Amino acid sequence: MKLLYPLILSLAILLSGCGRLSDGDSERTLILAHAMHETHPVSVAMAWMPERLREVSDGALDMKIYPAGQLGSERNLLELTQIGTVGISKLSSATLENVIPEMRVFSLPYLFEDPEQRWDVWLGPVGQELLKTGIPFRVRGIAYYDAGSRSIYTVNRPVFSPEDLNGLRIRVTESVMAMRLMRAMGASPAPLAFSELYTAFQGGVMDGAENNPPSFHTTRHYEVCNYYTLNRHTVIPDMLVISNPLWESLSEQERDWLQQVVGESVELQRELWQEAEAIAMQSFRDAGVKIIEPDLEPFRQSVQPFYDSIRTNDPELYAWVERIRAEAKGGNP
């Protein structure tokens, strides 16, 4: 691991992932950490959980949240969760795919046709099975949070079709799948820390990026990007994951309390997300950003060779694609 061992040791002593409080060992405190801004819909939904967890458990189970990257980036948090220093983390599936191969399926383009379809899959048998694929890597998924669909925004050149992406340097997450996808659509992908992106736009280092409306809004990237093309190429969920050794140490009652509260937070976040998307889109219009609703078929066609390559070279991943598509269509492949 690339973490500093003194930091790990001090965090372990301070947090110990999940421990007993000192008042008679009658309470257990779960440590949850994430890197999101505290006003983000996912962050707000998670911040709601500690009080509710104390309520449903009658004080037997508590939660302490470290938001906004206080304990490190998502990469750091994944490692800390694997070793058990942090009990629970909110991580993007794109971060998880660097450790859990099956998570790559969520970075594939045009996997779902609409929000109802993706929630049917996430809450159904296939989605629940995917939550468990991290167990060999010491993490277990316990819930999906909606992160909307990702679309392309650009500084100076409007994008109406994949051809318009030729020659554009587009920021992507540190994901091999994201880079392959952007190349398939004709762009030049470039991983870059999200915190450095605003300055990169101003300096002409990046021509654009891809993300959901609330993220485009909260980062204020719309102040320097003039075009937002709603091609909705991927739906990459946020996920709540727990250290698997911690999960195994919880009693059945504690697991039930945790699952109940997490499930309620998911419903809250879905409502908050819809509100945040509406507010973001109105802000873009007010700021003069040109909203482009392109014909999606050329974008779908541009990534078909991407799927053909996966079918041939990565049959295990493609099997998940087929299972997801079958479940999304009510069991009909």
Report yes or no: 34 and 46 within 8 Å, Cβ to Cβ. yes
Cα 247 to Cα 28: distance, rounded to the nearest angstrom: 13
Q: Tokens 């997801």, residue?
A: 324
The string of DSSP codes covering 181-245 is HHHHTT-EEEE--GGGHHHHHHTTS-SEEEE-HHHHHHTTGGGT--EEEEEEEE---EEEEEEHH
Residue closest to 18 by CA, chosen among 33, 35, 2: 33
Cα 67 to Cα 103: distance, rounded to the nearest angstrom: 24
Please name the amino acid found at residue 129.
Answer: E
- Beta pairing partners, 193: none
- CATH number for the region 150-235+279-328 comes to 3.40.190.170
- Beta pairing partners, 191: 172
Write the CB contacts of 267 (distance below 8 Å, at least 6 apart in sequence): none
Two structure tokens written together for 62: 């508590």
What single-letter DSSP state applies at residue 157? -
Say which CATH class 5-146+237-277 falls into: alpha beta
Residue closest to 91 by CA, chosen among 173, 25, 12: 173
pLDDT of residue 194: 81
Cα 13 to Cα 28: distance, rounded to the nearest angstrom: 16
pLDDT per residue as tens, the chain (333 positions): 444 434 443 444 344 556 433 333 458 999 999 998 888 899 999 999 999 999 999 999 999 999 999 999 999 999 999 999 999 999 999 999 999 999 999 999 999 989 999 999 999 999 999 999 999 999 999 999 999 999 999 999 999 999 999 999 999 987 888 999 999 999 999 998 888 999 999 999 999 999 999 999 988 999 999 999 999 999 999 999 999 999 999 999 999 999 999 999 999 999 999 999 999 999 999 999 999 999 999 999 999 998 999 999 999 999 999 999 999 877 544
pLDDT of residue 17: 57
Same fold, 5-146+237-277 and 150-235+279-328: yes
Report yes or no: 283 and 179 within 8 Å, Cβ to Cβ. no
pLDDT of residue 331: 57
Query: Which strands, in side-by-side order, build the sheet including 150-154?
Result: 188-191, 169-172, 208-211, 150-154, 227-234, 290-292
pLDDT of residue 66: 98
Cα 325 to Cα 323: distance, rounded to the nearest angstrom: 6
Cα 67 to Cα 30: distance, rounded to the nearest angstrom: 14
Domain layout of the chain by residue ranges: 5-146+237-277, 150-235+279-328
Report yes or no: 120 and 46 within 8 Å, Cβ to Cβ. no
Cα 282 to Cα 287: distance, rounded to the nearest angstrom: 9
Q: How far is CA 311 from the centre of its chain?
A: 25
Please name the amino acid found at residue 217.
Answer: H
Two structure tokens written together for 79: 């490692």
Number of neighbours of residue 5 by Cβ within 10 angstroms: 8
* Strand duo 88-92 + 28-33: pairing: parallel
Two structure tokens written together for 305: 């060779």
Two structure tokens written together for 267: 């419903």
Residue 298: φ, ψ to 5°:
-60, -35
Cα 233 to Cα 21: distance, rounded to the nearest angstrom: 46
Residue 77: φ, ψ to 5°:
-65, -35
